[in-house]
Amino acid sequence: MSRKCLLEISVETLESALAAERGGADRIELCGNLSAGGVTPDAELLRAVRAQLRIPIFSMVRPRAGNFVYSAAEFSEMRSSIAEAKESGMDGVVLGVLTKHHRADVERTRQLVEFAKPLPVTYHRAFDEASDLHQALEDVTQSGAKRILTSGGAKSALDGAAVLAKLVEAAGERIVIVPGAGISAVNILEVARRTKAREFHSGLSAVLPYGSGEYRKLEEEVRKLAERIARLT
């Protein structure tokens, strides 16, 4: 059966967002400070990127780098960031909350999912720090999130492909598993073949360091990814 696969690219500047769009990205994950794993981008960047891009933009909602166990004040800040994302015309938000026992925090995640409506929520790679990924899948699904960005608990999506395949199968049509981490034009077809996923995420940090300013090269690398993913349709 034919299927259309989707390519999401994480960026932290307007210039890189435009380069990713020119290269053929289907969606942008907009972050601040990608070298620290991505945090909430400021409102000025949200508005600037929204004004110039035509493709969907999902905004990161992460109040700080480090772990994903948040204080009451940080949780409140996440709500404010979601409100800002909605006001700025974002198409979705990306977040993740864990309990101190290394489980997906169902109650807090559900609250954020409800607050974000009608925007869909992607549960980010906090998922990979859960002690039991299959339990985390059920927990995140229960929260109402629409997607899970994950490497299958491994250093890269290719390394975690076997686990990702099991997660994709277990998720079925309930939630979308989005492989991410270390995906490039060199390996995306192999990741796709082994996981049977339909959406893929890349920051291209393996081939292009964050903040390099090489926007033409970024565009070229995204184009290579887009061309390879087109073979899967």
- Say how far apart CA 212 and CA 222 lie, in whole Å: 15
pLDDT computed for residue 4 by the predictor: 85
Residue 11 maps to a domain: yes
Residue 154 maps to a domain: yes
Structural domain that includes position 18:
6-230
Instruction: Write the CA distances from 29 to 41, 48, 158, 180, integer angstroms.
Output: 10, 14, 20, 12
pLDDT tens column, 100-125: 999 999 999 999 999 999 999 999 99
Cβ contacts of 230 within 8 Å, gap of 6 or more: none
pTM: 0.94
Determine the Cα angle at 225 with ends 203 and 228, to 5°.
155
pLDDT tens column, 175-207: 999 999 999 999 999 999 999 999 999 998 766
Q: What domain count does the chain have?
A: 1
Residue 1 maps to a domain: no
pLDDT computed for residue 35 by the predictor: 87
Q: What is the pLDDT averaged over residues 39-46?
A: 97
Locate tokens 């990608």: which residue? 34
Check which CATH number belongs to the domain holding 18 and give it: 3.20.20.380
Within 10 angstroms of residue 229's Cβ, the number of other Cβ atoms is 21
Residue 177 maps to a domain: yes
Question: How large a percentage of the chain has pLDDT more than 90?
Answer: 91
Q: What is the dihedral of CA 182, 41, 107, 141, to 10 degrees?
A: -40
Residue 44 maps to a domain: yes
